[in-house]
Structure 1
Amino acid sequence: MQMNKTTLIIGISLLLGITACQPPSDKTDSSDATSTSAQSVESPSTQPLVEAKTPKALTKALVKLSEKTLKVQLICTKLDDTINAIDNKSEIEDIHTVQRQIDACLPVADNAEILRWLEYYQAMYGRFLSADSSMDDEAFFTVMENVEQDGKLTVAQLKQVNPRVRYLISLVRSRADVSVRYMGEDHFEFHHDLSAMADMFTPYLPDDQSEFIQRMAQDNQEIFWFDTAIAISFEELVERAVFWEDFISRYPDSRFYDDANALLDTYRYLLFFGSENVRWIDDDIRKFYLLKDERLMMQLAKRTDSQLAEDVQKLLVFMEQSDSERHQLYPVPDKDENGHKINQWEVTHYQLNKALDIPSLRDTVKDRNCLHGVTCVVETGQ
């Protein structure tokens, strides 16, 4: 009898300890689970302990729980290697295996592990979806254009592309969280559903990290650059800039603060200077091309405690200045940093840059890409 009481006491103690270690219920609602939640690898459950009615049943439940715990611990210890083993020779079943293992490990992982797995998972999909086809391959272009437009393909057309491309196309056709998108300049890519990726990890992250990743998934599901043009509207550009300004204000200590600030500076620059093929303001910086864009800027100028509002107010002053006033306030060198004569368009944009003092894209982006995935990634060889 003494042995049974001891077993019962130990079991209850273990139950209480395990229960205390479970993740908060408000971050793990079952409605947020991914489609892979029907797992062959399950997180240890304490339910059998709760339901045990006798010391013998409790002992059996404890033994079973220990086995499951050890299994999950072993899987999680090897998870880095499992994710990094996926490449462009793997199949979708390998991805599903990784997803099940991640689902089992996230509830018992710390923040550093979760973010590391997210980084690896994002890179994993990049490897998995690489197709090894040349951009100037006419057959590849024709097939990908057809898939992107959800058109029909003949067997003869499919035979003209390599087996890996055919396999990835089969995933697109089966709606396996894989799509094709046109990047401009005759370049296509296979792409993963970023919201599905974010949904796996965000229930286990603090609010700032969850919000950052969800927003990145939303914004980067579609392309930002199309050739050298901005692929989103001026209105959306304003909305993104406002979002990131609010984010860094609400989360000054966020792990993603620097990336959020870089995104803000990117959108700030593009709001006022546009891109090579997109302009919102005329070359003399005197008026907006579209009245609706001007109205958006006027609304932006009314924000309180806002760098964006300051920028707009400086722009409006600059637009009213005469050429002589601009030259007096912002003298322009005869030649640029490469020794070339500065033309009139470059003069006005040089002066506006001095007036606004917004970091250039080169200084903001550096070697980090924040316009493609759910997290910013370092790009070597830039």
Structure 2
Amino acid sequence: MQKNKIALIIGASLLFGITACQPPADKTDPSDATSTSTQTATPPSTQPLIEAKTPKQLTTALVDSSADRLREQLICSKLDDNINAVDHTSKIESLRAVQRQLAACLPTADNAEILQWLVDYQAMYARFLQSDSSIDDEDFFTVMSNVEQGKSIAVAQLRKISPRARYLIGLIRSNADVSIRYMGANDFEFHHDLSAMADIFTPYLPDDQSEFIQRMAQDNQELFWFDAAIAFSFEELVERAVFWEDFMKRYPQSNFYNDAKALFDTYRYLLFFGSENTQWFDDDLRKFYLPADERLMMQLTERTDSQLAQDVQKLLVFMQQSDDERHQSYPVPDKDENGRKINAWQVTHYQLGQALAISSPWDSVRARNCLHGIICVDETSQ
């Protein structure tokens, strides 16, 4: 009897260790995460251990569970190699194989492994969607325009573009997780569903990281720039700036805090200075072009403990100042950093920058790219 008690105690301890590694019950299965229909591997079940009634049944269940664990470890040891092997010559089946491996490995991986796989998976998809067609290729532009508009494509047209472009277009037509989007300047790119990508990883990340990549997926699904203009509305710009300011307050210890701040700084700058082809104010910075934009900006002043609220209040003071008051408070150099004479438009925006104490996020070399994908990456890795 003593041996039986020992065996059962050992079995119960192992059962606790195994069940403690399983994903939380309220998290979704990542096999449902992608729009591509694939079969996914699942972690070994602990049901045989739970149902074991005798030492023999328990021993058998433990052996089976150990074998499953060994198979899982073998699968996960090959995951990095399989991700890195996918490139612009690979087929969709290679992506599906990686997705099945991730489904098996994510539940028991530590946070550092998960984040690295996320970075690698994002880079893998970018390689997979590369096409060797040039933006100067008129045939490629014609075919891509027809695909984007849902028009039919003649076989003769398809023969004029590269085999890889034909393959990716075939994936679009078969409703795989591939799409196209127009970049402006007669340029298209193949793209994919960022939310589906995020859904693979979010069940296994802490709240701050999960929220971060889900928001990145939402914001970066569409273009950020289009012909030197901001590709989304002023209302959305305000909402994004507010989101990242609030994110930093909710998660001050997040390992994504610096990336969130970089995003906040970008949206904060664009709120007040726009872009080359997007402006919210008249040239003298005396009034808003649209009353709706002014109302949205005024709403920011109602935020408590907010950098944005302080910025808007300074903006309103600046807009009421005369030219003489501005020159007295914010003297402007005669020439810019390139030695060229500063024009009137530059003078006004230089003074606003001094009034708000906001510098352009593009004044210095940006080490991180947060405007594509679901996680920020080093520029050198692009």
- Asked if TM exceeds 0.5, the reply is yes
Counterpart Cα distance in 2 of 1:13 and 1:356 = 61
Deviation >2 Å, runs of 4+: 1-13, 20-26, 28-42, 51-60
Deviations, residues 213-235 of structure 1 (Å, cap 9, x unaligned): 00000011111101211010000
Change (3 A) 1:73 1:381: closer
Counterpart Cα distance in 1 of 2:199 and 2:360 = 33
CA shift for structure 1 position 63: 1.6
Q: Do the aligned partners of 2:40 and 2:99 also contact (CA within 8 Å) in 1?
A: no
Where 1:325 maps in the other structure, the secondary structure is: helix
Alignment partner, residue 25 of structure 1: 25
Counterpart Cα distance in 2 of 1:196 and 1:365 = 31
1:273 aligns with 2:273: yes
1:343 aligns with 2:338: no
Change (3 A) 1:135 1:239: same
Alignment partner, residue 185 of structure 2: 185
Q: Do the aligned partners of 2:30 and 2:199 also contact (CA within 8 Å) in 1?
A: no
Where 2:158 maps in the other structure, the secondary structure is: helix
1:210 aligns with 2:210: yes
CA shift for structure 1 position 58: 2.5
1:321 aligns with 2:310: no
Alignment partner, residue 259 of structure 2: 259
1:116 aligns with 2:77: no
CA shift for structure 1 position 59: 2.4
Q: Do the aligned partners of 1:265 and 1:364 also contact (CA within 8 Å) in 2?
A: no
Alignment partner, residue 334 of structure 2: 334
- Equivalent positions of 1:307-318 (< 5 A) are 307-318=307-318
- Equivalent positions of 1:128-139 (< 5 A) are 128-139=128-139
- Pairwise CA RMSD of aligned residues? 2.0
Q: Do the aligned partners of 1:314 and 1:356 also contact (CA within 8 Å) in 2?
A: yes
Counterpart Cα distance in 2 of 1:66 and 1:32 = 23
Counterpart Cα distance in 2 of 1:199 and 1:22 = 17
CA shift for structure 1 position 140: 0.7
Alignment partner, residue 195 of structure 1: 195
Deviations, residues 97-139 of structure 1 (Å, cap 9, x unaligned): 1001001111101100000000000000000000111111001
- Equivalent positions of 1:1-382 (< 5 A) are 7-26=7-26, 28-30=27-29, 33-35=32-34, 39=39, 41-363=41-363, 366-380=366-380
CA shift for structure 1 position 12: 2.9
CA shift for structure 1 position 52: 2.8
Q: Do the aligned partners of 2:87 and 2:124 also contact (CA within 8 Å) in 1?
A: yes
Q: Do the aligned partners of 1:266 and 1:361 also contact (CA within 8 Å) in 2?
A: yes
Counterpart Cα distance in 1 of 2:364 and 2:218 = 22
Which 5+ residue runs of structure 1 have no aligned equivalent? none
CA shift for structure 1 position 361: 2.5
Counterpart Cα distance in 1 of 2:199 and 2:10 = 37
Q: Do the aligned partners of 2:335 and 2:341 also contact (CA within 8 Å) in 1?
A: yes
Q: Do the aligned partners of 2:311 and 2:356 also contact (CA within 8 Å) in 1?
A: yes
Deviations, residues 175-218 of structure 1 (Å, cap 9, x unaligned): 11111001111111111100000001011111110000000000
Q: Do the aligned partners of 1:22 and 1:108 also contact (CA within 8 Å) in 2?
A: yes
Deviations, residues 132-172 of structure 1 (Å, cap 9, x unaligned): 11111001111111111111111011111111111111111
Deviations, residues 266-299 of structure 1 (Å, cap 9, x unaligned): 0111111111011100010001000100111111
1:50 is aligned with what amino acid?
A: I
Counterpart Cα distance in 2 of 1:113 and 1:200 = 14
Where 2:182 maps in the other structure, the secondary structure is: strand
Q: Do the aligned partners of 1:262 and 1:365 also contact (CA within 8 Å) in 2?
A: no
Q: Do the aligned partners of 2:72 and 2:104 also contact (CA within 8 Å) in 1?
A: yes
Counterpart Cα distance in 2 of 1:174 and 1:298 = 47
CA shift for structure 1 position 30: 4.3
Which 5+ residue runs of structure 2 have no aligned equivalent? none
1:34 is aligned with what amino acid?
A: A
The count of corresponding residues between Structure 1 and Structure 2 is 381
Change (3 A) 1:67 1:381: closer
TM-score, structure 2 as length reference: 0.95
